[in-house]
Amino acid sequence: MQTSKSSLAALTLGAIGVVYGDIGTSVLYAVKEVFGGHHVPFTPDNVYGVLSIFFWTLTVIVSLKYVVLVLRADNNGEGGLIAMLALASQAVKDKPQLRHRLLIIGIFGTSLFYGDGVITPAISVLSAVEGLEVVSPRFKQYVIPLTLVILLMLFAVQKRGTGGIGRFFGPITLVWFMTIAVLGVSHIVRHPEILKALWPGYALSFMWHHPGTTFIILGAVVLCVTGAEALYADLGHFGKKPIRLAWFSAVMPALTLNYFGQGALLLATPEAVKNPFFRMAPEWALLPLVLLATMATVIASQALITGAFSVTKQVVQLGYLPRLNVQHTSVRDTGQIYVPAVNWGLFVAIVVAVVMFRSSSALASAYGIAVTLDMLITTTLTFFVIRYGWGYPLPLCIAATGSFFLVDFAFFSSNLLKLLEGGWFPLLIGSCIFTLMTTWKRGRNILNDKLKTDAIDLKSFLESVFSQPPVRVPGTAVFLTAEPGTVPNAMLHNLKHNKVLHEHNLFVTVRNHEVPWIGLDRRAEIEPLGHDCWQVTLHYGFKNDPDVPRALDQIRNRGCELDPMRTSYFLSRDNVVPTIGGGMARWREKLFAQMHHNASAAADFLNLPNNSVVELGSKVEI
């Protein structure tokens, strides 16, 4: 019992650091953007109304939608948009057209994650460093360079892994939440009447009397829920109970106290609107607060970068991106990975965002469209999960998700007003990623169809080969093939040029499924083909790490003996050639061919031993 309690405490502390780092730093800029950017008059009723909208936004979107409802939709213990997409597609698998549409919607939502992944670190770190301007206006010229240096250091250390510094995330973020709570309380005690804003009547009254202003400021209010999607995405790392406990016991109380403290400060000192968060602190505490805020935003950014690595790996497994170089940074935790292409791609995009927008206020204009569209997509997919997956009555499903859909749609509609001010930037990034994903998926389908058309039936081919068998050489040949039951090109080339056949031959197909994990007990299927040949199918979930040699170890006692020292792996390396009149537009065929050419080696992706791999190339026209 004691061990269980200590484990829960450790997981809760970890959730505070990783899951809530992003939403915890929103206090740096959310209130400032509502009052400073939209010129809401400083009347007590208006301050109460806006703070009430903040509190009930946190309550409805985070507490009710994500913590209570969405966290229930776990996919074998895993969460995130990819896991939700897999659940939804499985729920409607008997409706192919609907399933296809949901897959497109889910992949588009995943693409938008990368747009959010650029804006969030940029606005978080920049808003923290801008605290130096409150210390002294002379520091203004150093804000952009210092922000870029901090971001460079953050991305440069990714290849070393987060295991060493990860243990400090929870305690530092907990100190951050305690600090912002204390700052809030210090101003609330001077104006305790500010707590009246907890009553929803103030939010409703403000919306009733200022409908136009309310619609406009929703685009800034949404800043208070930055990182809400992380609640669901990190479900597999921490579990439901620690995430819920961290939110209700520490995070939401600290955020509420700080937002209300900023409101109390603005009632007393309206000119503090330029940067109400840092104006809350006494002068002697400004520099330590800027340092702590910078550490908190770096931790928040780290969680998002790690999430980008994880999502990319899952998307590759599902077949929507080519193989990428994935490096494991921990021998114990397989979830700790580093993807160089994603790391430096994000860094370049973030640098562009910081240099282009130059302030957290300008970046706030770019933030919102991508994240609110993601929220809409999550709500939509949730409906199909609870209706068709869980079988709940239609009226209950509409009531449960319909109200959240209306709230999400209101925030999304408001953020559309910021489209020309900067909202186009994350949408552009998301659209580019979506184009890459759909081009790769479509190209792979065309390529596979082409290979199927030209394919030779494996069983018939083996019968003809063994009617006049070639020379058999000692050892085992493992032929990797995309389609079971067809002759691999690598085998044809081997017979043509070497005119020999190995003593044992395995025809291995790797299958990736729309579930997070597939256990070792369901990893391998084996079918004897005669003449010491076997057809093997290996099954992996989108969070499993493919490891063909380890999987083949399992079939040793099922009629096939493998000696690692006498096993060779044969792969076909297809050279894709775009042609006129193919299945895609010419530019997409060229893009697919380039992606195919630049994909990382299949041997590395499948964890094959480098000194036992033979690659034989062929040219394929699409």
Terminal Cα distance for the chain, rounded: 61
What is the model's pLDDT at position 4? Answer: 59
Beta strand 471-480 pairing with 524-530: unpaired
What is the model's pLDDT at position 343? Answer: 92
Are residues 294 and 125 in contact, defined by beta-carbon separation less than 8 angstroms?
yes
What is the model's pLDDT at position 163? Answer: 56
Structure pTM? Answer: 0.86
Higher pLDDT, 76 or 533: 533
Higher pLDDT, 616 or 246: 246
Q: What angle do CA 318, 320, 321 make, to 5 degrees?
A: 110
Question: Which strand (E) or helix (H) includes residue 219?
Answer: helix 211-221
What is the model's pLDDT at position 54? Answer: 96
CA distance 552 to 97: 36
What is the model's pLDDT at position 531? Answer: 85
What is the model's pLDDT at position 183? Answer: 96
- pLDDT band, residue 6 (cuts 50/70/90): low
Higher pLDDT, 573 or 311: 311
What is the model's pLDDT at position 335? Answer: 59
Report the percent of the chain where pLDDT is more than 70: 95
The string of pLDDT tens digits covering residues 458-510 is 889 988 888 888 888 888 999 988 888 888 888 888 888 888 888 889 999 99
Delimiting residues of CATH 1.20.1740.10 domain(s) in the chain = 9-442
Report the percent of the chain where pLDDT is more than 90: 38
Higher pLDDT, 113 or 237: 113
Of the listed ranges 170-174, 303-307, 383-387, 398-402, the one predicted with least confidence: 303-307
325 φ/ψ angles, rounded to the nearest 5 degrees: -70, 110
Higher pLDDT, 56 or 271: 56
The domain 9-442 is placed in CATH, from the list 3.40.50.1470, 1.20.1740.10, 3.40.50.720, 3.40.50.300, at 1.20.1740.10
Q: Which whole-number Å values give the CA distances from 422 to 216, 224, 354, 365, 413, in the listed order?
A: 15, 19, 12, 5, 15
Of the listed ranges 13-17, 72-76, 101-105, 432-436, the one predicted with least confidence: 72-76
- pLDDT band, residue 260 (cuts 50/70/90): very high
Which residue type sits at 575?
Answer: N
What is the model's pLDDT at position 215? Answer: 92
Residues with Cβ within 8 Å of residue 470, at least 6 apart in sequence: 495, 499, 500, 501
The string of pLDDT tens digits covering residues 327-357 is 877 655 555 778 899 999 999 999 999 999 9
Are residues 184 and 379 in contact, defined by beta-carbon separation less than 8 angstroms?
no
Are residues 257 and 195 in contact, defined by beta-carbon separation less than 8 angstroms?
no
Q: Of 184, 193, 189, give the one whose Cα is nearest residue 257.
A: 184
Is pLDDT above 70 for 2?
no
What is the model's pLDDT at position 395? Answer: 93
